[in-house]
Amino acid sequence: MNKTIPVTKTFFPPQDEYVNQLSRIWENEWLTNRGELVRELESKLTKYLCVENIILTTNGTLPLQISLKALGLKGEVITTPFSYVATTSSIVWENCKPIFVDIDPEYLTIDEEKIEEAITEKTTAILATHVFGNACNIEEIERIANKYDLKVIYDAAHCFGVNYNGKSIFQYGDVSTCSFHATKIFHTAEGGAMFTNDSKLNHKLFYSHNFGHNGPTDFFGLGINAKMSELQAAMGLTVLPYMNDIIQERKAIVDFYDENLNFGKIRKIKLRSGLNWNYSYYPIIVDSEANLLRLITSMNEVNVFPRRYFYPSLNNLSYINYNPLEISESIASRIICLPLYSGLKVESLEIIKKIINNDNNWSKGTR
């Protein structure tokens, strides 16, 4: 029996290097409240990502919530049903109403051609997801937002290191957010960040993530606690030097899949022109849910565990008034992400290839 092959594994940097960063925390006797390591990580990430501003947070969901609050959004927020649940739950949590627009069947991002018909007098923003690190049609979303005076937030949880048309994808929109969860390419165990090019908004986002503080006894305004700790920053500082190796290793795995899988029975996501991708996920789409479930069973039988991601389509959430969205629901029922992580061996890739390409055990239908 082969060793378990999960959909992802956390990258663990050398333990002694992490301990060296932890030693600095003990020397400083400073665990949180923007210590030396958090400030150093911010500085290094602004350089690595080529962004002007970054605010580090304790997870990747709080930046969405803080952005919605800081932009003063009310009423309806147009969003995608094909994303992780945090995209929708953040809108609901901040007492706004998510208005779902179906997705493009190839790019899997929000279908920009359907956004305008969803706009009403109650619409205040567009919250779109760069799915699997694949950019939305940013130019068209920007045009629509300008036409109707809407704010734009990008859930860029998967986008660490992604560039679009020659600049960081985090430079687009009123606010962009990212996740540094342990399953992401770059991680701080738990963590996240938010980005904006607007200095005034950056100031508001910053104090909003720190209780609203203006010094120890004064306050700029309303805030919550979303600060990253020194322990998280220590992990980030230890992982960051390995990013080029991590991305190259992931690229090699993606290249293997691209070159060896039989795309007669499956298809993959179409990447946006102008995108410099980060090899964050490898989703494949099967012709039917029945065949998808058979494929998953065939993989599980040899200890390969892909993930149904994203599933379900978010318009099916129990706290949402259901409206059918044909493309998102269809894609969500037929998509899985294949194993992709630093350290995944060629022999494991060969097992995955054999299962997918030998479709006699799982592909009972036709495209």
**In the chain, pLDDT over 70 holds for what percent of residues?**
98
pLDDT digits 0-9 by tens, 154-168: 999 999 999 999 999
pLDDT of 59 reads 98
The length of the chain is 367
Q: Please tell me the number of Cα atoms within 13 Å of 302 on its side-chain side.
A: 15
pLDDT digits 0-9 by tens, 86-97: 999 999 999 999
- The band of 367, judged by pLDDT with boundaries at 50, 70 and 90, is very low
pLDDT of 329 reads 98
Mean pLDDT, to the nearest integer, of 221-242?
Answer: 98
Query: Scanning the structure block, which residue is given the tokens 């092959």?
Result: 5
pLDDT digits 0-9 by tens, 98-154: 999 999 999 999 999 999 999 999 999 999 999 999 999 999 999 999 999 999 999
26-35, 44-53, 116-125, 211-220, range with the lowest pLDDT:
211-220
Q: Are strands 175-179 and 5-6 parallel, antiparallel or unpaired?
A: unpaired
pLDDT of 365 reads 53
pLDDT digits 0-9 by tens, 75-86: 999 999 999 999
pLDDT digits 0-9 by tens, 353-366: 999 999 777 886 54
pLDDT of 257 reads 98
Among positive and negative, which fits the CA dihedral 326, 330, 331, 337?
A: positive
**Beta partners for 194?**
55, 177
Cis peptide before 63 (omega within 30 of 0): no
156-165, 245-254, 278-287, 352-361, range with the lowest pLDDT:
352-361
Whether residue 323 has pLDDT greater than 80: yes
Runs of H (alpha helix) within 240-325:
243-260, 289-300
What pTM was estimated for this model as a whole? 0.96
Mean pLDDT of the residues in the chain: 96
pLDDT digits 0-9 by tens, 163-218: 999 999 999 999 999 999 999 999 999 999 999 999 999 999 999 999 999 988 99
pLDDT of 247 reads 97
From residue 255, alpha-carbon distances to 184, 219, 270 in Å are 19, 52, 15
CA dihedral 284, 285, 289, 291 (to 10 degrees): -70
- The band of 344, judged by pLDDT with boundaries at 50, 70 and 90, is very high
Mean pLDDT, to the nearest integer, of 272-295?
Answer: 97
Full set of structural domains in the chain with CATH = 15-241 (3.40.640.10), 242-361 (3.90.1150.10)
The tokens describing 195, both together, are 């980005």
Neighbours of 317 (CB within 10 A): 16
Mean pLDDT, to the nearest integer, of 53-69?
Answer: 98
Cis peptide before 305 (omega within 30 of 0): no
Whether residue 2 has pLDDT greater than 70: no
Determine contact, residues 82/101, Cβ cutoff 8 Å: no
Query: Scanning the structure block, which residue is given the tokens 């359907």?
Result: 114
